[in-house]
């Protein structure tokens, strides 16, 4: 039987810190689902709104340190939840000061028609209670 308490944030952090493996059923689907829950819990516990890419990197580093999941599995999980947006994060605006300046000058109420805007990639992971 799968231990569902292992998906509480405190339990996830303890398992990672002590490099204790997460209990997984032998099915690939179970492994993918478990990784998605773990990533989601870690991601939303960090500064994901202001720094989505840095948060992704932190979560990836934490899970690689733990050692149970591969970089490819982690990347695939993040890629499955990618979405593009013009609702820019602070991290993105710091990396693209020209966009920050243009956004400051432009009225949000009257965006230019048909204007092509650079999009930022963010992650819409499912939330688990």
Distance of CA 117 to the CA centre of its chain: 23
What's the pLDDT at 116?
76
DSSP line for 4-21: GGGGSHHHHHHHHHTTPP
What's the pLDDT at 22?
92
What's the pLDDT at 101?
81
pLDDT tens, position by position, for the chain (129 residues)? Answer: 445 566 889 999 999 999 999 988 777 888 999 999 999 999 999 999 999 999 999 999 999 999 999 999 999 999 999 999 999 999 999 999 888 887 777 655 555 555 678 899 999 998 887
What's the pLDDT at 128?
83
d(CA 105, CA 51): 23
What's the pLDDT at 109?
52
The CA angle 10-33-47, to the nearest 5 degrees, is 45
Please choose, from the candidates 22, 46, 26, the residue with its C-alpha nearest in 3D space to the C-alpha of residue 36.
22
């Amino acid at each position: 039987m799968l231990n569902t308490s292992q998906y509480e944030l405190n339990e996830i952090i303890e398992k990672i810190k002590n490099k204790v493996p997460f209990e997984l059923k032998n099915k690939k689907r179970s492994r993918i689902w478990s990784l998605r829950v773990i990533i989601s819990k870690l991601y939303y516990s960090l500064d994901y709104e202001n720094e989505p890419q840095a948060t992704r990197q932190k979560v990836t580093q934490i899970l690689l340190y733990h050692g149970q999941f591969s970089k490819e599995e982690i990347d695939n999980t993040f890629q499955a939840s990618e979405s593009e947006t013009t609702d820019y994060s602070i991290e993105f605006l710091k990396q693209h000061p020209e966009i920050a300046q243009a956004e400051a000058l432009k009225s949000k109420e009257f965006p230019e028609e048909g204007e092509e805007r650079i999009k930022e990639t963010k992650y819409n992971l499912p939330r688990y209670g």
